[in-house]
C-alpha cells in the first residue's frame, strides 16, 4: 500500500470536499512551517516574538482544572478497553473506555471537522528506523498545532519509496481539536475535554484540551504499547552520540534535566525525550524537542536558548514583553514549553539512528537533598530504580502541582506505559545484557538541605559529572557504598565547584538531620515498591537491591 493510500482522509470519515482558504482540498496538508506560522497569526492563535518565534497561550482556567490547566490532565485520558495486553489494574492511569462511548465521541469530532471551513493536516512519521516506523497523520483545527506536529515528528520518506517493515501496514492518526468542548454528562466524563487512545484502530483523539503535550504523550503511549510486542524497548529518555560513535541515554521525568543534559554541543543529538532500542541499536521516535523553558538561561543552556530564537519554533505559555520572552516570569505557569525541530540545534543526528549505548543515566530531581549527585548501579539495582523511577514532581508539569512533591513514576514515565511495568523492566534487562552498558543514578535536584533550605545542584556540576562518566573517568574513580541507599556513590570527580557535594551529608548543617531525611526517603522507596509490586513475585525479588533505612 502506498503512503497516499495509507493517509487518505476518506478512510476516517472526513469529507474530502472540505474547502480551505489556500485553494487546497482535504485540508491544508503539509504546509511549509512558514505558511503555518502565517496562518496561526491570521487566525489569531498566537503572536510573533521579535525573533519570529510563534507564541501561543494554552492555559485554561475553568471549573474542571483545579485552578488552571497548564500541563497534562491524567483524569481526562482514556484507553479503549478492547486492546489486548493493556494493564487496566491501575484505573487512575489507564482509565478504560468502552468502544461504544468512544465511537460516539469520534462521531461528534468528525461532525465538528466536517463543519470547519479549513482543517490542517500534517503527514509525518514515527520512528527513524524505517523497518519499525509508522506513518502519522496529524489532523487539527489549529495551524499552531500543525506547526507543533511538523516540529515534533519526523519527515516521511519519498512517496515513491518502497516501504519496508511496519510502515507499510497501517497509519496512525491523531485528531486534535482544542476548541471542541464535550458535554461531560452526555458522555460520562470528568470534564469537557478528553484524550482517547484507540490502540486497535491506531487513533488518538484529543478534544477540548489545549496543552500541546497531550497529543505528544498520546503518540508516545501508543508506541509504548506496540513496540514491546515487536521486541523493541521504548524509552522515556534523551540520547546523544560522541565522536567515538558511542551513544548515551538520559532517562528522566519532566524537570530532571533530560533535555538540558542530552543537549551537549560536543555530542550529536539523537533525541531529547523519546528513544527506542531495537535489535540493531537505538533510533529516535521523534524529530523534535519539547523543552521546559522556565528560567532558561542563554549561558547555561545555549543550544536550547538559540533554538528557540529560530523562525518556526513554537513557544507555549511564556511571558512576552515588547516582543521579547521573559523566561523567568512564571505568572502563567512553571511549565512553559518550547517546541522546535532537532535541526534547530547545532549538532542533530541526520539519520536518527545510533549504536547500542555504553552509558545510561537515570536522572532524578531529588527535593529531599539526600541522594548523592552521581552513583554507580549494578544491573539489579538498575532494574529496581527503573521500576521505581524516583524524582520530585516539579511545579506545573501536571494540573495541581505547585511545589516539588515526592514522586515514583515507574520506567521514568508511568503515565505513558500501558503494559505491565515489569515487562518494560525485562526489556531493560535484556538490553543491558546485550550491550554491557553502565548505569549511573544522577541527582540533578537539591544539595545542602531539602527544597526551600538547600539549593539546586548547578548545571555546570551536573555536566561535569556526566562528561566524566562518558569519558570513562568514573569507571575507576573512588567510591563508597551509601549506608541507606546501598549503591556505590562516586566520591571524586574533576571539574566540580566543590568535591563536598559528592558526599551530600557534608553539605548539610546537621549530619543527623541528613541521616533522618535519608532514612525517610529509603522507607518511602520500600513502601512504594511493596505496594506496587507485591503481586508480582519476579519483581519482588529485586526488593533487596533497593534502599534500606538504618
Q: 210 an active-site residue?
A: no
Distance CA 486, CA 83 (A): 40
Q: 273 an active-site residue?
A: yes
Beta partners for residue 134, in sequence order:
126
**What is the SS3 string spanning 414-470?**
HHHCCCCHHHHHHHHHHHHHHHCCEEEEEECCEECCCCCCCEECCHHHHHHHHHHHH
Q: State the first-to-last Cα distance of the chain, in angstroms, to the nearest integer.
A: 62
**What is the SS3 string spanning 269-314?**
EEECCEEEEECCEEEECCCEEEEECCCCCCCCCHHHHHHCCCCCCE
The active-site residue out of 124, 216, 236, 479 is 236
Q: 42 an active-site residue?
A: no
Residue 155: C-alpha distances to residues 40, 284, 368 (Å): 21, 12, 42
Give the number of other Cβ atoms within 10 Å of residue 158's Cβ: 7
The active-site residue out of 273, 303, 461, 488 is 273
Q: Are 341 and 76 in contact (CB under 8 A)?
A: no
The active-site residue out of 101, 267, 337, 450 is 337
Residue carrying C-alpha cell 548515551: 248
Distance CA 106, CA 200 (A): 15
The residues near 337 (Cβ < 8 Å, ≥ 6 apart) are 212, 213, 290, 291, 292, 293, 315, 316, 317
Q: 267 an active-site residue?
A: no
Q: 259 an active-site residue?
A: yes
Q: Which of 337, 370, 357 is nearest to 435 (CA)?
A: 357
The helix or strand, by DSSP H or E, that contains position 5, with its residue range, turns out to be: helix 3-6
Q: Which of 164, 139, 159 is nearest to 16 (CA)?
A: 139
Q: 69 an active-site residue?
A: no
Distance CA 484, CA 518 (A): 7
The active-site residue out of 202, 217, 376, 450 is 217
Q: 479 an active-site residue?
A: no
Beta partners for residue 72, in sequence order:
398
Q: 81 an active-site residue?
A: no
The active-site residue out of 254, 364, 392, 397 is 254
Secondary structure (3-state) at 401: coil
Q: Are 96 and 78 in contact (CB under 8 A)?
A: yes
Long-range contacts, stretch 470-475, CB < 8 angstroms, 24+ apart: 470/242, 470/246, 470/248, 470/267, 470/359, 474/374, 474/376, 474/440, 475/438
Q: Are 281 and 291 in contact (CB under 8 A)?
A: no
The active-site residue out of 53, 58, 259, 262 is 259
Q: Which residues are catalytic?
A: 72, 217, 236, 254, 258-259, 273, 337
Amino acid at each position: 500500500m502506498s503512503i497516499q493510500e495509507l493517509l487518505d482522509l476518506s478512510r476516517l470519515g472526513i469529507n474530502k470536499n472540505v474547502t480551505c482558504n489556500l485553494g487546497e482540498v482535504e485540508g491544508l496538508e503539509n504546509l511549509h512551517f512558514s505558511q503555518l506560522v502565517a496562518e496561526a497569526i491570521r487566525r489569531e492563535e498566537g503572536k510573533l516574538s521579535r525573533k519570529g518565534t510563534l507564541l501561543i497561550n494554552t492555559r485554561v482556567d475553568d471549573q474542571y482544572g483545579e485552578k488552571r490547566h497548564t500541563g497534562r490532565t491524567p483524569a481526562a485520558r482514556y484507553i479503549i478497553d478492547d486492546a489486548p495486553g493493556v494493564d487496566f489494574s491501575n484505573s487512575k492511569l489507564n482509565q478504560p473506555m468502552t468502544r461504544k462511548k468512544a465511537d460516539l465521541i469520534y462521531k461528534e469530532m468528525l461532525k465538528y471537522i466536517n463543519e470547519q471551513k479549513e482543517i490542517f493536516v500534517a503527514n509525518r512519521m514515527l520512528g527513524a528506523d524505517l523497518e519499525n516506523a509508522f506513518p502519522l497523520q496529524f489532523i487539527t483545527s489549529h495551524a499552531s498545532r500543525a506547526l507543533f506536529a511538523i516540529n515534533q515528528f519526523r519527515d516521511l520518506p519519498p512517496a515513491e519509496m518502497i516501504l519496508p517493515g511496519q510502515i507499510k501496514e497501517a497509519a496512525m492518526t491523531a485528531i486534535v481539536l482544542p476548541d471542541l468542548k464535550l458535554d461531560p454528562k452526555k458522555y460520562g466524563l470528568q470534564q469537557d475535554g478528553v484524550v482517547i487512545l484507540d490502540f486497535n484502530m491506531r487513533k488518538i483523539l484529543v478534544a477540548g484540551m489545549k496543552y500541546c503535550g497531550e497529543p505528544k504523550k498520546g503518540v508516545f503511549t501508543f508506541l509504548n504499547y506496540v513496540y514491546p510486542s515487536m521486541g523493541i524497548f521504548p524509552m522515556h529518555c534523551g540520547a546523544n552520540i560522541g565522536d567515538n560513535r558511542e551513544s548515551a541515554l538520559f532517562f528522566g521525568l519532566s524537570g530532571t534535566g533530560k533535555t538540558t543534559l542530552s543537549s551537549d554541543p560536543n555530542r550529536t543529538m539523537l533525541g531529547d525525550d523519546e528513544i527506542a532500542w531495537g535489535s540493531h541499536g537505538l533510533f529516535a521516535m521523534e524529530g523534535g524537542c519539547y523543552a521546559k523553558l522556565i528560567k532558561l538561561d542563554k549561558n547555561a543552556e545555549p543550544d536550547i536558548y538559540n533554538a528557540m530564537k529560530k523562525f518556526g519554533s513554537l513557544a507555549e505559555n511564556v511571558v512576552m514583553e515588547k516582543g521579547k520572552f521573559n523566561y523567568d516570569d512564571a505568572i502563567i505557569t512553571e511549565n512553559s514549553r518550547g517546541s522546535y525541530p532537532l535541526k534547530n540545534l547545532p549538532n542533530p543526528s541526520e539519520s536518527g539512528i545510533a549504536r547500542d549505548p555504553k552509558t545510561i543515566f537515570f536522572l532524578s530531581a531529588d527535593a529531599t537533598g539526600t541522594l548523592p549527585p552521581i552513583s554507580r548501579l549494578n544491573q539489579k539495582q538498575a532494574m529496581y530504580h527503573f521500576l521505581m523511577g524516583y524524582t520530585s514532581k516539579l511545579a506545573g508539569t501536571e494540573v495541581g502541582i505547585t511545589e516539588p512533591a515526592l514522586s515514583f513514576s515507574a520506567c521514568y514515565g508511568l503515565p505513558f506505559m500501558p503494559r505491565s511495568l515489569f515487562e518494560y523492566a525485562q526489556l531493560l534487562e535484556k538490553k543491558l545484557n546485550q550491550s554491557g552498558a553502565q548505569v549511573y543514578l544522577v541527582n540533578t535536584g537539591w544539595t545542602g538541605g531539602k527544597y526551600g533550605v538547600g539549593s539546586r545542584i548547578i548545571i555546570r556540576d551536573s555536566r561535569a559529572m556526566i562528561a566524566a562518566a562518558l569519558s570513562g573517568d568514573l569507571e575507576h574513580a573512588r567510591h563508597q557504598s551509601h549506608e541507606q541507599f546501598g549503591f556505590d556513590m562516586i566520591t571524586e570527580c574533576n571539574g566540580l565547584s566543590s568535591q563536598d557535594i559528592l558526599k551530600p551529608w557534608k553539605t548539610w548543617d546537621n549530619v543527623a538531620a541528613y541521616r533522618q531525611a535519608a532514612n525517610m526517603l529509603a522507607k518511602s522507596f520500600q513502601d512504594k515498591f511493596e505496594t506496587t509490586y507485591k503481586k508480582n513475585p519476579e519483581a519482588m525479588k529485586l526488593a533487596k537491591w533497593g534502599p534500606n533505612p538504618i
